Amino acid sequence: MSKTKKMMAGVLTTVMVTSLVGCGSNRPPEPDDDSCRDWDWDEDTQTYYCDSSSSTTGGGHYYHNGKTYSSKKSLTSDSSYKSYKSGIGSGTKGGFGG
């Protein structure tokens, strides 16, 4: 491999790693909530979703602002969540807390 190809491979690797790290940095930390063993990020709601059928609540619930919601509908109808969603991309802080 020539020096130019090695250099370009290094640059591309650095760009890819940097962009992956940057994407994840906007997310809040995973919930410290024992009701679920497997929290996954839900792109649609921009919140965490319990993807564990062996959790104490049976899984399928969402986590936002220190609270768990039994369904997506209960999450999206909450005033705290509506305020959070309206602030995404507008420069205001999100409503995550714990």
Give percent above pLDDT 90 in the chain. Answer: 32
Q: pTM of the full predicted structure?
A: 0.58
Look at residue 98 in the predicted model and tell me its pLDDT: 45
* DSSP 8-state secondary structure symbol assigned to residue 26: T
> In angstroms, rounded to a whole number, what is the distance separating the alpha carbons of residues 85 and 89?
9
pLDDT above 50 (res 57): yes
Tokens of 84: 């959070």
Segments of the chain assigned E as strands:
39-42, 47-50, 62-64, 67-69
